[in-house]
Amino acid sequence: MESQYFILVGSLLLLMSILAGKTSYKFGVPTLILFLSVGMLAGSEGILGINFDNPSFAQFIGIIALNVILFSGGLDTRWKAVKPVAAKGFLLSTLGVFITAGAVGGFTYYLLDFTLIEAFLLGAIVSSTDAAAVFSILRSNNINLKYGIRPMLELESGSNDPMAYFLTTLFTGMVVAQEFSLTSSVLDLVLQLVIGGVSGYFLGKGSKWLINKIALDFEGLYPVLGLALSFIIYSFTEVIHGNGFLAVYVSSVLLANSELVKKYALRQFFDGFAWLMQIILFLTLGLLVFPSRVIDILPIGLAIALFLIFVARPLSVFISLAFFKVNIRSKLFISWVGLRGAVPIVFATFPMVMGLDKADLIFNIVFLVTLVSIMLQGTTINKMAQWLGVQDNEIKTLKKARAFEFSEDSKTESAEIYISSNSKVIGKKIHELDLPKDSLVVMIIRKAKYFVPSGSTELKYGDTLQVISTSTKDLTKMAQDFG
């Protein structure tokens, strides 16, 4: 295919994915499914008939994309919110992964003609929740949850890939070499996690120093610097035999909770770039799938998917959180948000690259498990949160004012408040508003134009108020009263 046709087809697929994602919310379908569907429609058995059967390239794209997604997720992690649930998240991302892998592996062993190691390999591949799926679905739906559930879920999904990655590579190597040493495997696991964590911490510190001291002449270069550093952190950690995924996540969390120049620009860039990498990743994985082969294993795949959702995931959650005071409703909801996504499909390419006999079967089962997970769990998270009573309806999600950027150490917060058609403040003047102390309407967006209001400015339907305050509670109250 000539370069211009390759670029044209690629850009059209990207556009189709974005348009599909834009319309998906009307039907309650997660955008990730739409991205996969576009890739499948364009693949070997789809409308465009693009012949793509290159697991090695798909794996390479997956590793690049996962680095960006994890780095972006880490940059959005507030340590103050995560700290109270850090121990719970850690156990879910380690012990929880082991339990899930073991349970699914045992079920697969009795269900299929797999050796015990091959069964545990399948269990390891689907053992971790997916950061891209959890971040995108929780944040796009603006779900506010009680009891610190949301930071716990985001911490788990951002930090459990290293354990699943280790188990996947371990069992893949065992199938190939036909040998196993418990002592060396445990030692290897501990070394990878320790080196990954330590490397991520110190490289994150170094990245912070460099970003703050380099004084680049062009602001647009700071996100590029951040991107380069994220890949350096991953690759260097892998070279010294640490877990690169863990290092990337640890370093980005450290950067997110440090005094950092252009932090807002970095977050904005990585947020958009992470979406781009998600689309490219899901398109690539969709192209790699042959739907007819997935249909052939439909009963088997459904059985494993349902066992994972209703048995293995709850089992891992209830055992991991048994050490803490967590009510049963929270445990049930956390169990339900065990979303699988791109990560298991990427890990499923490892056996294919290594040429394992059952690699294609494993890949198709994992793909089907992912589809079922996102379609069943991803579309019902809101309803499940309401049904279990863990959704916090008293909190109104605030959108940061686009005209202002404050340091995280500043006591000043900002918010955008949209004046809806039934708002009580329509027709009122600014000086007539009952504004809380130390709160101010500093700008109004009206018909896409910004202007600074005076006390006599009359509010109209469709206005967007740019408000600053020293109290988040006051901003929330204004959003409820004025919106």
Q: CA 86, CA 233: separation in Å to the nearest integer?
A: 23
Residues forming beta bridges with residue 418, ordered by sequence position: 464
Question: Residue type at 265?
Answer: A
Distances (CA, A) of 420 to 5, 403, 441, 465: 46, 20, 17, 11
DSSP per residue, 317-364: HHHHGGGS---HHHHHHHHHT----HHHHHHTHHHHHHT-TTHHHHHH
What does the DSSP assignment read for 413-479?
A: EEEEEE--TT-TTTT-BGGGS-PPTTEEEEEEEETTEEE---TTPBP-TT-EEEEEES-HHHHHHHH
Q: How many helices (H) and strands (E) does the chain have?
A: 22, 4
> Cα separations (Å) of 177 from 16, 166, 180?
43, 16, 8
- Residue 23 tokens read as 């319309």
Helices (H), 218-297: 221-239, 244-256, 263-288, 291-296
Per-residue pLDDT of the chain (483 residues; tens, 9 = 90+): 566 766 777 777 777 767 765 555 444 456 667 777 777 777 776 777 777 778 888 888 888 988 888 888 888 777 777 888 888 988 998 899 999 999 999 999 999 989 999 999 999 999 988 766 676 666 655 567 777 788 888 788 878 888 888 889 888 888 887 666 667 777 887 888 899 899 999 999 999 999 998 888 888 888 899 999 999 999 999 999 888 888 998 999 899 888 888 887 888 888 888 888 888 887 888 888 888 888 888 999 999 999 999 999 999 999 999 988 888 998 999 999 888 877 888 888 889 888 888 888 999 999 899 889 888 887 788 788 888 888 766 555 556 655 555 555 556 677 888 888 788 888 888 888 878 887 888 888 888 788 888 888 888 888 888 888 877 777 777 777 776
Sequence letter at residue 215: A
- Look up the pTM and report it: 0.78
Sketch out the chain's domains with CATH numbers. Answer: 3-388 (1.20.1530.20), 413-482 (3.30.70.1450)
Beta bridge partners of 451: 444
- Please report the DSSP string for 94-130 in residue order: HHHHHHHHHHHHHHHHHHSS--HHHHHHHHHHT-S--
